[in-house]
């Protein structure tokens, strides 16, 4: 009998970060990378969710809604809202829209990718890369012509001095 090779333990998400003024870069993908997101209705649902997030202390900055994933920046204004709960709520809101339009579930891959930005340059570099996604995917000639991108709240990196 051959012993199974041991797999490295999977990295786990940090529970709580005690640093103020964090801007998170978030990416979430549809299940089996189904192209179901880049449309007016889902875009509108994303914008509405982001706008009412202000009441809970969540501010979405720049975002790009691609056919099978989204990228966005989010900052929490001292609220107790966790990133994981917020992303789950966003996915649920977008799924509600998709179900209303007859798109079969499941809609999302489990989990999401996040990265804590460490400087203003990091925000700019990430955004410059992300906003070009539709161009690299061959969906448009220029990033400015992609209709499913924008900025809800202007975010600035603030050092914690």
Q: Is the pLDDT of residue 19 over 80?
A: no
Which pLDDT does position 22 carry in this prediction?
85
Q: Which pLDDT band, with edges at 50, 70 and 90, does 16 fall under?
A: very low
Which pLDDT does position 4 carry in this prediction?
57
Q: Is residue 103 in a domain?
A: yes
Q: Is residue 77 in a domain?
A: yes
Q: Is residue 10 in a domain?
A: no
Which pLDDT does position 60 carry in this prediction?
96
Q: Which pLDDT band, with edges at 50, 70 and 90, does 146 fall under?
A: very high
Which pLDDT does position 80 carry in this prediction?
77
* CATH number of the domain where residue 28 is located: 3.30.70.1290
Q: Is residue 160 in a domain?
A: no
Q: Is the pLDDT of residue 7 over 90?
A: no
Residue 96 CA to residue 103 CA, distance in Å, equals 10
Residue 32 CA to residue 129 CA, distance in Å, equals 23
> Range of 146's domain?
23-151
Which pLDDT does position 76 carry in this prediction?
92
Which pLDDT does position 47 carry in this prediction?
98
Q: DSSP assignment of 32-60, as one string?
A: GG-S-S-SHHHHHHHHHHHHHGGGGTEEE
Which pLDDT does position 13 carry in this prediction?
47
Q: Is residue 140 in a domain?
A: yes
Q: Is residue 9 in a domain?
A: no
pLDDT 10s digits, 43-68: 999 999 999 998 989 999 999 999 99
Q: Is residue 161 in a domain?
A: no
Burial state string for 121-154 with b = 16 or more CB within 10 A and e = fewer than 16: eebeebbeebbebbeeeeeeeebeebebbbebbe
pLDDT 10s digits, 79-133: 778 999 999 999 999 999 999 999 999 999 999 999 999 887 788 888 998 999 9
Q: How many structural domains is the chain composed of?
A: 1
Q: Is residue 13 in a domain?
A: no
Which pLDDT does position 17 carry in this prediction?
42
Q: DSSP assignment of 114-151, as one string?
A: EEE--SHHHHHHHHHHHHTHHHHTTS-SSGGG-SSEEE
Over residues 6-25, mean pLDDT: 60
Which pLDDT does position 18 carry in this prediction?
43
């Amino acid at each position: 009998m051959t012993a199974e090779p041991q797999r490295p333990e999977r990295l786990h998400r940090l529970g709580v970060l005690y640093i103020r003024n964090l801007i998170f870069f978030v990416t979430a993908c549809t299940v089996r990378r189904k192209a179901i997101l880049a449309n007016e209705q889902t875009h509108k649902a994303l914008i509405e969710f982001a706008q009412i997030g202000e009441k809970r202390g969540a501010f979405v900055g720049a975002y790009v809604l691609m056919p099978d994933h989204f990228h966005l920046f989010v900052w929490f204004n001292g609220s107790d809202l966790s990133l994981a709960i917020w992303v789950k709520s966003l996915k649920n809101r977008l799924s509600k829209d998709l179900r209303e339009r007859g798109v079969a579930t499941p809609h999302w891959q489990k989990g999401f990718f996040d990265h804590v930005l460490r400087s203003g340059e990091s925000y700019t570099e990430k955004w410059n890369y992300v906003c070009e996604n539709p161009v690299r995917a061959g969906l448009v000639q220029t990033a400015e012509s992609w209709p499913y991108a924008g900025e809800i709240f202007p975010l600035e990196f603030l050092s914690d001095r």
